[in-house]
Chain A
């Protein structure tokens, strides 16, 4: 059978799903790495939505997959969250920010966790979530 249809269709699918999300082609999505995180090595760029901060250490926040969040339109959907510790200085991102965090796995006082040395805010989706499902 031909390989033809697959890639064509995959592209369309990617386009359609990208319609719900804004996957950055260079960044890994949370859903990409959640199964086998340590299989990814070295410096990584991970994209996700900030859902909440660790109350005892505000450098630590949880990232949820962007596409999933946009489809379920909630920060508290029952799905995987990636803990990230931000060790760069200066401002910290806000809740509901869609960010790319750049860093690598690191053995910290909290165990092996994603240590981000920098981040880029792409946008904030709080208003999208509040608007609710009206597509």
Chain B
């Protein structure tokens, strides 16, 4: 018989109560972990997405509001207000590789779809595209379309199909391989063709640029702003705008989970308090047979701690399972009809596991502190005389 043995036997003696109290902390923990895990995977995916822009700088007109900035990441269509000149001037800066984007919209099967005007070869190199089907643009003004992989899939389009854009027919000549980025969700045409059919003139929406020396980012930005009146952001900045918003959503959810945990903690405290009341005689016996008040304290504290440990471990497992199950359900509801996704996975992060279990133990120990102190304070005769 040692103290751990004693404690575990004590816990298991009232199976019903044990299960309910454990459930309390398990559920609280599971919610907490599920939210942590979803949250961290969301952050990671967001970073991956921003990384997908795979560029160091994004050049936009100065008069854009935040809405437009975010739209770059989401792939919404953006106003065309950069003059083409800007493109030339920026390209001429040493060490910068830049590609223009001209984003518009059209309809396929009465659903809005993005159209992007590009320099065919430069874009393909910049974004490292691969061709899944067909033959890529042969000329810089070819009157044909290349489809992102999602567009082809979701609208069931094949080579040779004809899209009508701004009233004109364009055959599908190629389909890109999936990139895992927003590139998959656009229809591509040569820049000059888009400018022509949308009657835009020499304008583009924004420019994405890569620099040869990342450590010198600031000097590149300075050089750009020197020659043109534009707004230059690194995708890091865009990402942080979005992450801040995401962070506050995340924080709210974690707050809710935190509340669940606190109520579980009170559940433990309540169970322990009730237990002490019922087990007075037992405490008296333990004292009479030689248990010091510190031993009583340890026993009760260990009991709460064990609730925390067990609840933490089970809660972590349940939480991860829940996040894996919930993720695709969350992802598929509410997305516009365009996108039918593959299953997102939740992240299994060792640091979350450790944090969660430690947190659980700490909460349960703290909530068991007061009851344990009360138990230890009982003098032997007080405990025994209770009838």
Q: Do A and B bind each other?
A: yes
Q: Contact residues of A with B, CB < 8 Å?
A: 1-17, 19-20, 25, 28-29, 31-36, 38-42, 44, 67-68, 71-72, 79
Is the CB–CB distance between B112 and A16 below 8 Å? no
Chain A residues with CB under 8 Å of B167's CB are 38-39
**Chain A nearest CB, measured from B342 CB (Å):** 4
Given contacts A7-B331, A7-B339, A35 and B49 within 8 Å (CB-CB) = no
Cα distance, A44 to B76, chains bound together (Å): 21
**Chain A nearest CB, measured from B156 CB (Å):** 17
Is the CB–CB distance between B106 and A11 below 8 Å? no
Is the CB–CB distance between B46 and A9 below 8 Å? yes
Chain A residues with CB under 8 Å of B336's CB are 14, 25
Is the CB–CB distance between B67 and A72 below 8 Å? yes
Determine which of B74, B105, B180, B242 lies in contact with A34 in the assembled complex, contact meaning CB atoms within 8 Å. B105
Total of A-B residue pairs, C-beta within 8 Å = 135
Determine which of B46, B164, B184, B246 lies in contact with A39 in the assembled complex, contact meaning CB atoms within 8 Å. B164
Is the CB–CB distance between B105 and A5 below 8 Å? no
Given contacts A4-B344, A5-B49, A11 and B110 within 8 Å (CB-CB) = no
Residue of A14, A39, A41, A67 most packed against chain B (CB within 10 A): A39
A-B contact pairs, 16 of them (CB 8 A): A1-B179, A2-B180, A5-B49, A6-B339, A7-B340, A7-B342, A13-B73, A14-B335, A14-B336, A16-B242, A31-B105, A32-B112, A33-B105, A33-B112, A35-B104, A35-B105
Given contacts A13-B73, A28-B112, A36 and B178 within 8 Å (CB-CB) = no
CB nearest to B51 among chain A residues: A5
Cα distance, A9 to B41, chains bound together (Å): 10
Residue B341 is within 8 A (CB to CB) of chain A in the complex: yes
Given contacts A12-B246, A32-B112, A36-B166, A7 and B344 within 8 Å (CB-CB) = yes
Is the CB–CB distance between B245 and A16 below 8 Å? yes
Chain A residues with CB under 8 Å of B332's CB are 7
Q: Contact residues of B with A, CB < 8 Å?
A: 41-42, 44-46, 48-49, 65-67, 70, 73-77, 79, 104-108, 110, 112, 115, 150, 164-167, 178-182, 184-185, 198, 242, 245-246, 249, 327, 330-332, 334-336, 339-345
Given contacts A7-B341, A14-B335, A1 and B180 within 8 Å (CB-CB) = yes
Chain B residues with CB under 8 Å of A15's CB are 249, 334
Cα distance, A15 to B42, chains bound together (Å): 13
Is the CB–CB distance between B66 and A8 below 8 Å? no
Residue of A15, A29, A32, A41 most packed against chain B (CB within 10 A): A32
Determine which of B70, B77, B106, B182 lies in contact with A6 in the assembled complex, contact meaning CB atoms within 8 Å. B182
Chain A residues with CB under 8 Å of B249's CB are 15-16
Chain B residues with CB under 8 Å of A33's CB are 105, 107, 112
Chain A residues with CB under 8 Å of B341's CB are 3-4, 6-8
Chain B residues with CB under 8 Å of A42's CB are 110
Chain B residues with CB under 8 Å of A34's CB are 105
**Chain A nearest CB, measured from B150 CB (Å):** 8
Residue of B67, B74, B166, B330 most packed against chain A (CB within 10 A): B67
Is the CB–CB distance between B344 and A67 below 8 Å? no
Is the CB–CB distance between B77 and A35 below 8 Å? yes
Is the CB–CB distance between A10 and B77 below 8 Å? no
Query: With A12-B246, A14-B74, A36-B198 given, can you name 16 additional A-B contacts, CB distance below 8 Å?
Result: A3-B342, A4-B342, A5-B44, A5-B48, A6-B49, A6-B180, A8-B327, A8-B344, A9-B45, A10-B335, A16-B70, A16-B246, A29-B112, A33-B112, A36-B107, A67-B67
